[in-house]
Amino acid sequence: MGQITDAVTVTAGTAVLQTDRADVRTEIPSTQLENLPVPIGRNYQNLFVTVPGISPPENMHSVAVNPARGLAFSSNGTTRNANSIRIEGAISNNLWLPHVAAYVPALEAIEASLKAGFQVNIEFIFGYPGETPTALEQTTNYAIDLDPDFANFYPAVPYPGTELYAKAKRDGLLASEDWARMEYSYYLLSGNGLNERVVMDAIHRAKRRFFLRPGYLPRPPGDVARPALSKQSIFVPVMSRTLFGAKVIDTSQATLRNAPAALAEADRR
């Protein structure tokens, strides 16, 4: 009769000291995302069951209300609305349903799309409430690691009438209510180490790091031409701002006076 042997190898490393913030958090590393079995849909949130103190994630709402199929869970007995859901540092909470994620990518979605020959264009929003300067740099690293055909980077804009505007007013995060500056050339929120200079500098760095990196510049002309031709309204301003900086906004008194009427006209349309 043959002999059966079994070996168990236990490894451990020095714990990394958290120095950027004083909160208590747990991160699911890429090795777990790649190797652990995940149920149908490849929703990474199913792996939250491996985090101590997290309740088993459960489905919430209809497909129409929650098309991303974000899962609801609570942490250490707190309300599920207090969760800050992040993907590589970028916050992904649904503004209208804060207890679920607005975007839940399948683990291999972007990689599979690139391999299939699809043109992948991704837009990143910097500076949502709860983010930190470290999170902004992590988002840039994430964009570079994903390596899509094209990427754009915007500041979060608290347009009046939106949930973001209401939250900013409620939590005292709104640094300015200048309507002429409520567009993607400015950042009007503050808090958690973020302000206009920090966020806009991070966006400019992200554009330079993404478009001017050695791995992007030598791409075949066709790969760069596709987003340039199909998304001209986005591609041209992005490349212009990357090379020459932000555009100049008309802040004349006439523009300020006409801003409410212009928004009202847009609502009627």
Tens digit of pLDDT for each residue in 18-57?
A: 666 666 667 777 677 777 777 666 777 778 888 888 888 8
pLDDT band at 249 (very low <50, low <70, confident <90, very high): very low
Q: Give dist(CA 9, CA 100) in Å, integer.
A: 38
Neighbouring CB atoms inside 10 A of 194's CB total 26
Tokens of 160: 């009046």
Q: Mean pLDDT across the stretch 152-163?
A: 88
Cα 250 to Cα 181: distance, rounded to the nearest angstrom: 9
Give the length of the chain: 269
pLDDT digits (tens, 9 = 90+) for 78-128: 888 777 777 656 677 777 777 888 777 766 676 677 777 777 788 888 998
pLDDT at 2: 67
- What is the structure's pLDDT at 205? 93
Phi and psi torsions of 174, nearest 5°:
-85, 110
> In the block, which residue shows the tokens 């349309």?
269
Three-state SS at 155: strand
Cα radius of gyration rounded to whole Å, the chain: 22
Q: What are phi and psi of 154, to 5 degrees?
A: -125, 155
Q: How is residue 122 annotated by DSSP?
A: E
Please give the single-letter amino acid code of residue 108. Answer: E
Mean confidence (pLDDT) of the chain: 75
Reported pTM: 0.53
Sequence-separated (6 or more) residues with CB below 8 Å from residue 9: none
Q: Give the helix ranges, DSSP H, for the chain.
A: 30-35, 109-115, 133-146, 163-170, 196-211, 221-230, 232-244, 253-268
Taking the C-alpha atoms of residue 124 and residue 245, their distance in angstroms, rounded to an integer, is 18
According to DSSP, the β-strands at 86-87 and 90-91 are antiparallel
Give the per-residue pLDDT at 201.
Answer: 94
CA atoms within 13 A on the CB side of 223: 15
* Three-class SS of 102-119: CCCCECCHHHHHHHCCCC
Distances (CA, A) of 139 to 74, 112, 122, 144, 210: 25, 20, 12, 9, 11
Q: Are strands 150-155 and 90-91 parallel, antiparallel or unpaired?
A: unpaired
Highest-scoring range by mean pLDDT, 60-64, 80-84, 202-206: 202-206
Q: Tell whether the model's pLDDT for residue 142 goes beyond 80.
A: yes
**Spatial distance between the Cα atoms of 89 and 140, rounded to a whole number of angstroms:** 10
Cα 71 to Cα 56: distance, rounded to the nearest angstrom:
9
